[in-house]
Structure 1
Amino acid sequence: MHLNNVFARHAILLACLFPSLLQAQVVKKDRPNVIVVYADDLGYGDLSAYGATKISTPNVDRLAREGMLFTNAHTTSGTCTPSRYALMTGEYPWRKSGTNILPGDAALIISAENATLPSVFQKAGYKTGAVGKWHLGLGENGKKINWNQPIAKGPDAVGFDYSFIFPATGDRVPTVFIENQEVVGLEASDPIEVSYQQKIGSEPTGKENPELLKLHASPDHGHNNTIVNGIGRIGYMTGGKKARWTDEEIAHVFVDRAENFIEQHSKQPFFLYFSLNDIHVPRMPSTQFKGKSGLGLRGDAILQLDWTVGRILKKLETLGLAKNTLILFSSDNGPVLDDGYDDGAVTQLNGHNPRGPLRGGKSSAFEAGTRVPFLVRWPGIVKPGSRSDALVCQIDLIASFASFFNQKLSQQDAPDSQDLFAVFTGKSAKGREILVEQGGGFSLVKGSWKYIEPSEGPKVQKLTGTETGRDSLPQLYDLKNDIGEKNNLAGMHPEIVKELAAALKKIREDGRSR
């Protein structure tokens, strides 16, 4: 008792002399730094943590080893823009028109009037940053973007204090970086103009000047317009010569900016949305990775992605932030091999299976379209080496963090997001009961059952060779026993088909599911 009294008196004395120290410890526990690392087109089977044997991803695997690996995590959609929209807004993207894959000159599709994932963090007192691929539009509807002046309404309009992005995808113009709404390195004497309707200017194109290409492309994908850095793009661009990126440098530029953001805000809680360019086409990784994977440029880009994650982990350790930083790693949709460029993705696959045990891929209604890698590391909170089979979706991040910060979302905010914070941190094994998936038609997952509604269209996508999941008849799969969706059980269980079709109809008509 005597020793306990001594310790108690010392604790009181410390609290009186250093109240800010004790307060800081409480704040840090309640408000960890949060980094969402978002890969592009990375498949369920592309990481060694998920069973890949032809390629090694030690840095991403470390997140699994020191945190939790999810086996049943999903995007809402089989393509990038809608998945990103859902992540940011907590709303199924098909509820809003214009959330399809956007051109590089599209207007901002996120409403500034409603809560977003970054605005939830802002409200909690965090500094928020977006670094990397954006692809959610810039500027206002009905107004052509003027790339030669500060762009109204970008990441800043939806909750980001800082942003360093490129507008759409690597294969779309304009091929420039934008920092806090201004094109980086733009010269007033060389203004930028962009068109997706017709050719502008006199710059060489992939269609007219294929001899200038260092990465040849199929004309069917549209990668034969303005040539930048020896690569044909979608869309036409003139001007901004010194502002244009070099593909081999993109990963380095993005990770440098991400590290700078982390360092600048190391003394206060921060939220970083780090959206990688890899492994989307055109796959043109840094020289240090070219030829290193044995799987063509796609495999080399995976190595570069893994290196990027390693850079972030090292920076957190150097700054003493690793223990107080929650990292979530995932991808915006499933894999695609031949996406229009001759980069060895198919011819040098060498036994690698980017889908893992799943069927389909990017744009598909089958599982490989939306079931993606999902890893969570939070030292001291998430059990190292743990695993979850719970059904979760990226759309649930906004409601989960709002709940963590004790913020109440309005009826209009995040209408389809659910609070799964306990699941994301391993405190609960109970995930979603129902999830609607979009890609090659619509599907609904409830428990182990997956229903794909009838839809017209090709069963195989002509451009990529991916199974779309479309069929004129309903499809029903038991994912617990048939994760590869090989056996359509719709004819054997018409009552389940009817139940799930009705559930999908109701979610559509209700306008919300939260």
Structure 2
Amino acid sequence: MKNRTLFSSFAAFVLALIAPMSASAQTKPNIVFIYADDMGYGDVQCLNPQRGKIKTPSMDMLASEGMLFTDAHTTSSVCTPSRYGLLTGRYNWRTQLQTGVLWGYSEPLIAADRLTVGGLLQQNGYETAMIGKWHLGMTMPTTNGVLPVGRKPKTLNIVWDGKIQNGPTTRGFDYYYGISASLDMAPYVYIENDRFDGEIPQDGKSSTAEGFTRDGVLPEFGRRAAQYISQRDDDKPFFLYVPLNSPHTPIVPTKEWVGKSGLGKYGDFQMQTDATIGQIVDAIDAAGLKQNTLVIVSSDNGCSKAAGIPQLQKQGHYPSAQFRGSKADLWDGGHRVPFIVRWPARVQAGSRCDQTICMTDFMATCADIVNAKLPADAAEDSVSFLPALDSKPIVSTRAGIVNHSISGHFAYRQGKWKLMLAKGSGGWSAPNENAAKNSTQKAQLYDMDADPGETNNLYESRPEVAERLLKQLESDVQGGRSTKGPMAKNDVENIVLWKNQTRRSK
């Protein structure tokens, strides 16, 4: 009995010693960021209950267990630049990429010495992994040192058993499995860490590795993400970034999902996307990690015209909900996106946030969560939205947020006001810039509280507001940063603000 008492006392002593260590480890949440591709604000049922006809039970459930953001924006209305902003906390137009997107064989956009969210979390004790679509460039091994160019090069010079340089594992991720870009641009081959998981013939007749199928990519990403989560333990927090390939083109729901929505293949693919998100969330819950895992679900831009928006609207489904425009545009339908957060240990179930946030803010938020100080030369456009998760006002040194279209046109949002330095959509929706080039209106100004559909242009009637927003935009561009801190430099000397005029910002 005496020995048992001594053992119990010793065990209690040991537990008392290690308890603070365990508590300390548990204070850092696991972080899972699921980034859909071309999913519109109105494609999520709980964000668009009146004009949304696609069933999204997984995301609706996630929102009911967490917080729904109604005014979240990507930095750009197309893929590559919005991903750059998310992972670096810096606006994409500060780089050499002023318009458009990268291709599947493109060189990396993120500089080797730039801190990313993954790198930040690595420095603070996290295991980091990415499973999905990269679309930020990497240096692939070639026979002559020259990378193929374009959406689908006619000939290839890739060394398929060679080592890939400057990929995700050199930009903050311990592990990577995925594809280099979208499924409508070559190459169609999986990559694991810094090696190809397959080979494509060099004759240009095919751009697809043996066994690779486009409709198999989404299920593979979901399976691998769930598997990664199931293999984690409690010793070390993890960050998992899952940029999906859907519902971006090609719109390829698997056989079991075809016809499920009653709205055509886009609706089917969106339902499958929702189910994949549910699969990943279920893996978190099954692993007993629900309470202290921060889950975020969002999209890299609005719904694409390739979804067949007019036909969807005829059937009662509005992918941009009450907002004007879609992917590639400066109107809100191009960059206002779903943003759902679940973190039971901190976020109140069924809560809602109407404060404006930008995708660049993810990095400062992660720094805030792990109590890390960001270096002066990182996350220049990032503001922590952590207070919003506690239903408090976001404290910001940034005056507003900047949005960018596929053609490089700029918009500036501050409070209820939005200034667009474009005559038309700035993107693909009518009227685009070419169609609107003879318009007498120089720019557009909208009161987003009174006019969320951006139908009443106040640029001529409220010149004082337009001028104030323009000056702030010019300051944010010229200073190399939009948050408080030392002057920073853009990667390019001249950034053209007025694409339709001669006025420039340096």
TM, length-normalised to structure 1:
0.82
Report the Cα distance in structure 2 between the residues aligned to 1:380 and 1:169, rounded to whole angstroms.
35
Question: Where in structure 2 are the equivalents of 1:59-208 lying within 5 Å?
Answer: 59-98=58-97, 100-139=100-139, 143-144=146-147, 146-186=159-199, 192-193=201-202, 200-201=203-204, 203=205
Distance change >3 Å, CA 460–CA 389, structure 1 → 2? closer
What's 1:26 paired with? 24
Alpha-carbon displacement from aligned partner over 1:482-507 (angstroms, at most 9, x marks no partner) = 11111011121111111111111111
Report the Cα distance in structure 1 between the residues aligned to 2:20 and 2:10, rounded to whole angstroms.
11
Report the Cα distance in structure 2 between the residues aligned to 1:123 and 1:92, rounded to whole angstroms.
23
The one-letter amino acid of 1:161's match is D
Contact in 2 for aligned 1:366/1:468 (Cα 8 Å)? no
1:348 Cα offset (Å): 5.3
What's 1:210 paired with? none
What's 2:418 paired with? 450
The one-letter amino acid of 1:50's match is L
Report the Cα distance in structure 2 between the residues aligned to 1:508 and 1:313, rounded to whole angstroms.
38
Alpha-carbon displacement from aligned partner over 1:176-198 (angstroms, at most 9, x marks no partner) = 11011211134xxxx544xxxxx
What's 1:245 paired with? 212
Report the Cα distance in structure 2 between the residues aligned to 1:436 and 1:330, rounded to whole angstroms.
18
What's 1:223 paired with? none
The one-letter amino acid of 1:25's match is A
The one-letter amino acid of 1:87's match is L
What's 1:234 paired with? none
Q: Secondary structure at the match of 2:241?
A: strand
Report the Cα distance in structure 1 between the residues aligned to 2:430 and 2:24, rounded to whole angstroms.
50
Identity %: 38
1:266 Cα offset (Å): 3.1
Alpha-carbon displacement from aligned partner over 1:313-350 (angstroms, at most 9, x marks no partner) = 211121111111100110000111326xxxx6654551
Question: Where in structure 2 are the equivalents of 1:409-428 lying within 5 Å?
Answer: 409-428=374-393
Report the Cα distance in structure 1 between the residues aligned to 2:55 and 2:431, rounded to whole angstroms.
27
Report the Cα distance in structure 2 between the residues aligned to 1:12 and 1:445, rounded to whole angstroms.
61
1:26 Cα offset (Å): 3.4
Contact in 1 for aligned 2:346/2:389 (Cα 8 Å)? no
Contact in 2 for aligned 1:448/1:478 (Cα 8 Å)? yes
Q: Secondary structure at the match of 1:72?
A: strand
1:459 Cα offset (Å): 5.2
Q: Does 1:266 align with 2:265?
A: no
Alpha-carbon displacement from aligned partner over 1:61-116 (angstroms, at most 9, x marks no partner) = 11110111011100000111000001111111101113631111101111121210
What's 1:275 paired with? 243
Unaligned runs of 5+ in 1: 1-9, 194-199, 204-225, 227-236
Q: 1:301 aligns with which of 251, 265, 269?
A: 269
Distance change >3 Å, CA 85–CA 368, structure 1 → 2? same
Alpha-carbon displacement from aligned partner over 1:227-246 (angstroms, at most 9, x marks no partner) = xxxxxxxxxx3xx642x521
Distance change >3 Å, CA 459–CA 68, structure 1 → 2? closer
Q: Secondary structure at the match of 2:119?
A: helix
Unaligned runs of 5+ in 2: 1-7, 148-157, 484-506
Alpha-carbon displacement from aligned partner over 1:388-436 (angstroms, at most 9, x marks no partner) = 1101011011112112222222221111112222124534356664001
Report the Cα distance in structure 1 between the residues aligned to 2:33 and 2:243, rounded to whole angstroms.
8
The one-letter amino acid of 2:18's match is S
Which moved further from structure 2: 397-406 or 70-79? 397-406
What's 2:350 paired with? 385
| Count of paired positions | 450
Q: Does 1:370 align with 2:335?
A: yes
Alpha-carbon displacement from aligned partner over 1:102-160 (angstroms, at most 9, x marks no partner) = 11110111112121010111011111011111100011797436443121110011110
Report the Cα distance in structure 2 between the residues aligned to 1:466 and 1:397, rounded to whole angstroms.
32
1:465 Cα offset (Å): 4.4
What's 1:216 paired with? none
The one-letter amino acid of 1:328's match is I
Report the Cα distance in structure 1 between the residues aligned to 2:232 and 2:146, rounded to whole angstroms.
35
Report the Cα distance in structure 2 between the residues aligned to 1:405 and 1:477, rounded to whole angstroms.
38
Report the Cα distance in structure 1 between the residues aligned to 2:13 and 2:303, rounded to whole angstroms.
54
- Give me the CA root mean square deviation: 2.4
Which moved further from structure 2: 438-447 or 382-391? 438-447
Report the Cα distance in structure 2 between the residues aligned to 1:169 and 1:421, rounded to whole angstroms.
31
The one-letter amino acid of 1:177's match is Y
Q: 2:221 aligns with which of 254, 269, 274?
A: 254
